[in-house]
Chains A and B, each alone.
Chain A
Amino acid sequence: MRPTPDITALRKTLASHEAPRLSVAGRRFSFGVEGLDSALGGGLPAGALHEIIGAAGADLPEGEAFTALLAARAAQGRPILWIRQDLMANEGGMPDARGLAALGLDPGAFLLVRARNGEQALRAASDGAACTALGAVLIEIWGEPRRLDLTATRRLALRAAESGVTLLMLRLAARVLPSASHSRWRVAPLLSVPLEARAPGPPAFALTLLRQRAGPSGVAGEAPGQNWNLTWQLEWDRDQQRFRTPDSRRKPRFLDGPALSRPVAALPAGRPAGAGRADRKAG
């Protein structure tokens, strides 16, 4: 059924009313990874609602850290309101300032609100979204609270567009629900590229772009015929304060790379160099 001209005109009027409001922010924040940022058209828009989904409850540390890092990139030094449901503390413990600092974040920039339930978290988020002095608001919600519907997310998105505050909603142990978010991501743990002596490497994330307004989206399996890959493997580069792809880092020296010159123990003088090796073989 074709929409009648009246409705089309009405839609146009509506769009003209909404357009300036949504473009108030206009600013974008990037991941710092070339392929990812170009797929997004230069980064994610600030002053919008973005959704990050951790499918399992055990994805909590990855999800939280990824969202916090993204929030820090969006906030650019301004304070970040971090709203956390009490359930998170049972599941994944309380965030630690040293851990934040170890990721290169400034713990002093975070204001933590502990909400009893998802409803309280949404109320606090709507307060935070209206406060223009904030850089970003990070909302964590467990599961699917009843209040989290299209209307609620739409309200949040509009508030964010008005104030220019970026809203990042982390949903853990959650299904995908219809929402008014600008983009939706799934984050999962990823085996890090180990450091020397098989020590765990820097934080690594497996990231999937599930949905993006006005842009390519979807997992390869979900959208047949699309040949772009919207899955990325990211690693946090603390020194540069940006994300990067794990393979961009040089391979660890002791696993498969060529041996580097380094000081060796002096061999005893007056003894053939091969003697030691023969001894070892014998033993």
Chain B
Amino acid sequence: MTAHTGGQARTGQHATPQKPEHQEKSWHEDERPSASPLAFIERVRGAVRLVALDPAGLALGLRPGLTLADARARVPHLVAVEADPAADVRLLERLADDCDRWTPLVCLDLPDGLILDITGCAHLFGGETALRQRLLARLERLGFRAHAVIAGTPDAARALARFGRSGLVPEGEEARYVASLPVGALDLGEEATLALARAGLKTIGALAGRPSLPLSARFGEAVRVRLARVTGREDIRLTPRRALPDLIAEHRFAEPIGRAEDIEATLEGLVRQLATMLEARGQGGRRFEASFFRADGAVRRIPVETGRPTREPGAVLRLLRERLDSLADPVDPGFGFDLVRLAASRAEPLGALQVRLDGRVVEDEEIAALLDRLTARFGRARVLRFIARDTHDPGRATGLVPAHDAPAGAGSALPHGEPDEAPTRPFTLFDPPHPVEVVAEVPDGPPLRFRWRRVLHQVMHAEGPERIAPEWWRFPHGGTLSPVRDYYRVEDREGRRFWLFRAGLYEEASHPDVGMDTAPAMDMPRWFLHGLFA
């Protein structure tokens, strides 16, 4: 990174060019015959080629890109396994989750690299050299072989790691270190790389010594930009995989913890820490996330949300407990957690509360606490509030949204209807409407009887039609159903009241020059049950 933070601004990157033991699911350790070299294969343009090899295979002189037939000719006992790029990405994402322990700024570098922004994080782990060593040691324990490079810009670190270098680039020395790399390290694509090679420019050092204007005129602007980034003259920002939280409190353990009481106590301590930090800033969090980093690399995140900003340790702890209790698959400590982190995001200003004379604040607080508790237990999509939308289309006029997203009273402003009239809108709506079989007068009489869910209903009272069409910009293009609907309010003999509609018109159906026998029944208007009245 550029020196905008004043002190050391560094980017670390490590790549895992060989990924033999870690193709998930497609292959398991115990299936492997002992001491046989292993290769992952893929069909490339009609030929089956090796895409990755384990150390044993590499030692025998096999290389990625070789066809399987050639490889088998050289090493008959080679074990070949189909490559699964999707599983590789999943594995890389799990690894990235685990790397959150070093810095919150982690991004994927597909297919097999990770870029970490360690600006301002290195001192927590005893300096850059120590951080790099600890990271490599951890990866090795998890079964990966990796190259790790720390450099001033992500591109420089990436180019060096991809081309087999390993180590630490002193500040401002990027240009010197990358000079010996081939131009392929600029990652410009095959065509541009080939063009550069044909012009005799084989290394980055050869490019860097030339004036940039003729270079970009001949090979394109990308060459100049990439060159500036790789040599450390220009910096870019990384896009982290997850949004950065506003505040973090964490606890690291030399010895992993696994007992429920320990975890509980740790969480409590973290919540208190976070509350103190929030109070110092005069803020409250809307979203809290507890992350449990397992010693074996798995990471579990448990988020809870509140309806209004809070920093009360008791409330946050209660929500977390509620959430942990209601998980379908409980948090499994496995061999224990060696890092527990609590992050607050969406921090908002929160002043001291003042109780009004009528005690309303207390009541509102109680409702908010109840909503938080229910949301933590059942999930956002299950605790809802009504809202009104500005349209007359009954399917979209109102809605249910998570209670945390809607202000109280969002659904209050709706018309009540004329005095002395029966309700004109049903109590419940079906989405989508249910098709029904209807006997009705042509062209626009109300239904006489209809069959819904295999029960025949005789209509006693009916009112309609009320014609409702969506806004013109919502008219569907094509489609067999007419968007115009004629609604009827009907009541059957037992006193059940229904909201039926006819999609389309009978006139549209009976075209003069098409006889009924040639026009199939699909042209007839269809009837639906949209809702039930009380």
- What residues make up the interface of A, taking CB atoms closer than 8 Å to B? 58, 60-62, 64-66, 78-79, 81, 92-104, 106-115, 120, 123-124, 127-128, 131-134, 189-192, 194-195, 197-204, 206, 236, 238-239
Contact = CB atoms under 8 A, between A and B. Distances in A.
B77 interface: no
A128 B383 CA distance: 12
Given A107-B412, A120-B378, A238-B423, A99 B461 contact: no
Contact of A200 (B388, B409, B491): B491
Given A98-B394, A107-B398, A195 B421 contact: yes
Contacts of A108: 385-386, 408-412
Interface in B339-392: 362-364, 366-367, 369-371, 373-374, 377-378, 381-388
A195 B428 contact: no
Contact of B423 (A93, A97, A103, A197): A103
A115 to B, nearest CB: 7
B384 A128 contact: no
Given A107-B411, A107-B414, A198-B462, A133 B363 contact: yes
Contacts of B422: 192, 195, 199-203
Contact of B534 (A61, A98, A110, A199): A61
Interface SS majority for chain A: mixed
Contacts of A202: 422-423
Contacts of A66: 534
Nearest to B365: A133
Contacts of B163: none
Q: How many of chain B's residues touch chain A, expressed as a range? A: 35 or more
B159 interface: no
A108 B371 CA distance: 15
A238 B363 contact: no
A111 B410 contact: no
Given A99-B428, A239-B420, A113 B374 contact: yes
A191 B493 contact: yes
Given A61-B534, A96-B398, A107-B414, A200 B367 contact: no
B426 A101 contact: no
Nearest to A101: B414
Nearest to A191: B495
Contact of A111 (B385, B429, B496): B385
Given A124-B378, A191-B494, A111 B364 contact: no
B424 interface: yes
A189 B251 CA distance: 61
A110 B382 CA distance: 14
B475 interface: no
24 contacts: A61-B533, A62-B534, A81-B370, A97-B411, A97-B414, A98-B425, A99-B423, A99-B425, A101-B416, A102-B425, A104-B416, A109-B412, A110-B385, A113-B374, A124-B378, A127-B373, A128-B370, A131-B370, A191-B491, A198-B460, A199-B463, A200-B463, A206-B495, A238-B423
A81 B416 CA distance: 21
B462 A60 contact: no
A80 B427 CA distance: 17
A61 B414 contact: no
B49 interface: no
B383 A110 contact: no
A94 B431 contact: yes
Nearest to B463: A199
A111, A114, A204, A236 interface centre (most CB from chain B within 10 Å): A111
Interface in B479-534: 489-491, 493-497, 531-534
Most buried by B among A78, A189, A195, A199: A199
Given A93-B430, A108-B410, A199-B462, 13 more contacts: A64-B427, A94-B400, A107-B398, A112-B383, A120-B378, A132-B363, A133-B362, A133-B364, A191-B491, A200-B422, A200-B462, A203-B422, A203-B423
A283 to B, nearest CB: 22
A211 to B, nearest CB: 24
A128 B371 CA distance: 9
B98 to A, nearest CB: 33
B39 interface: no
A86 B222 CA distance: 56
Contact of A93 (B378, B414, B531): B531
A197 B496 contact: no
B428 A61 contact: yes
B495 A65 contact: no
B497 A192 contact: yes
A197 B463 contact: yes
B427 A201 contact: no
Interface string B444-463: 00000000000000001111
Of B367, B397, B408, the most chain A CB neighbours within 10 A belong to B367
Nearest to A81: B370
Contacts of A79: 367, 408
Contacts of A206: 495
Contacts of A132: 363, 366
A113 B423 contact: no
A111 B533 CA distance: 21
User: Of residues A103, A110, A133, which shows the largest number of chain B Cβ atoms within 10 Å of its Cβ?
Assistant: A133
Nearest to B496: A189
A61 B425 CA distance: 13
B418 to A, nearest CB: 10
Contacts of B409: 108
A188 B385 CA distance: 28
A210 B349 CA distance: 54
B330 interface: no
B411 A133 contact: no
A61 B427 CA distance: 7
